[in-house]
């Protein structure tokens, strides 16, 4: 079945994994699949620059500027000034992808927290939402979010229903779900999805990562978001197109599109 009005709220089309077919995907295949908007999440300065170039060339692409916790070692000394400059781009609608990742590196937790807080404060100064990446860092993430109460998106939310209920109390936080919810034996994000109100839910692909079933372990692109949408709509007991449209309006609201 064909769907429309789809907002993929997290993708990485500057990735080298799209070098062979990026133009065809962005110019034809995504729009033909009903993709109305895509948010390109930045992970480090060069990536953010490339994402801005893509957003300049395609009307439906938007982008963010941020330092992912996995790329802190390569950050330039003047990274705050560079992010501030990148955020001046008219289609830059968020600071991100920022956060804490103790799965890949638990040795620099203090640095990750320091850089995260600096970026949250920058986003608040610039009146931009944040795009958050949290992995194996729930306690510290919840503490920081409760303290600073930012606007933003919890990308690829994989927390429990209990964590979702706590974070729902922060009024401008949205919960984004990826192809992970289609995987066998996945439980926590589905339980969280079940307790969240539709007006706080987003969908994403994290392309080129996290392809949903039946494409798992292949390169992901935004056309595959349909499988995530169908699974999430079933959990929410809603018609798929209604769910997609609500998620699109949620994305437009948080990113002011």
- Tokens representing 128 are 């931009």
Q: What is the mean pLDDT of residues 199-224?
A: 97
What confidence tier does 105 reach under pLDDT thresholds 50, 70, 90? Answer: confident
- The partner residues of 40 in beta bridges, in order of sequence, read 11, 63
**Whole-number pLDDT of residue 106:** 85
What confidence tier does 76 reach under pLDDT thresholds 50, 70, 90? Answer: very high
**Whole-number pLDDT of residue 22:** 98
pLDDT beyond 80 at 1: no
Q: Tens digits of per-residue pLDDT, 9-48?
A: 999 999 999 999 999 999 999 999 999 999 999 999 999 9
Q: What is the mean pLDDT of residues 123-140?
A: 98
pTM score of the predicted model: 0.97
pLDDT beyond 90 at 104: no
pLDDT beyond 90 at 243: yes
Fold of 6-255: TIM Barrel (3.20.20)
* Three-class secondary structure assignment of the chain: CCCCCEEEEEECCCCHHHCCCHHHHHHHHHHHCCEEEEEECCCCHHHHHHHHHHHHHCCCEEEEECCCHHHHHHCCCCHHHHHHHHCCCCCEEEEEEEEEECCCCCCCHHHHHHHHHHHHHHHHHHCCCEEEEEECCHHHHHHHHHHHCCCEEECCCCCCHHHHHHHCCCCCEEEEECHHHHCCCCCHHHHHHHHCCHHHEEECCCECCCCCCCCCCCCCCHHHHHHHHHHHHHHHCCCHHHHHHHHHHHHHHHHCC
**Whole-number pLDDT of residue 19:** 98
Q: Tens digits of per-residue pLDDT, 50-72?
A: 999 999 999 999 999 999 999 99
């Amino acid at each position: 079945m064909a769907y429309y009005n789809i907002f993929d709220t997290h993708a990485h089309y500057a990735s080298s994994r799209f070098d062979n077919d990026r133009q065809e995907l962005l110019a034809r295949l995504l729009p033909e699949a009903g993709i109305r908007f895509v948010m390109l999440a930045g992970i480090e300065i060069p990536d953010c620059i490339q994402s801005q170039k893509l957003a300049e060339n395609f009307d439906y692409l938007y982008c963010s500027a941020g330092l992912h916790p996995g790329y802190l070692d390569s950050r330039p000394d003047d990274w705050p000034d560079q992010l501030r400059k990148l955020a001046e781009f008219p289609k830059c609608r968020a600071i991100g992808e920022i956060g804490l990742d103790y799965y890949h590196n638990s040795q620099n937790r203090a640095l990750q927290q320091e850089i995260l807080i600096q970026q949250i404060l920058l986003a608040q100064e610039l009146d931009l939402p944040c795009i958050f990446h949290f992995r194996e860092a729930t306690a510290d993430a919840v503490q920081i979010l409760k303290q600073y109460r930012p606007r933003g998106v919890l990308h690829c939310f994989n927390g429990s229903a209990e964590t979702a209920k706590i974070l729902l109390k922060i009024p401008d936080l949205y919960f984004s779900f990826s192809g992970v919810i289609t995987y066998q034996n996945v439980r926590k994000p589905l339980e969280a999805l079940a307790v969240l109100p539709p007006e706080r839910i987003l969908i994403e692909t994290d392309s080129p990562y996290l392809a949903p079933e039946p494409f798992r372990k292949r390169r992901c692109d935004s056309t595959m978001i349909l499988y995530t949408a169908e699974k999430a709509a079933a959990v929410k007991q809603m018609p798929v197109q209604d769910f997609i449209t609500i998620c699109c309006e949620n994305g437009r609201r948080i990113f002011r599109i």
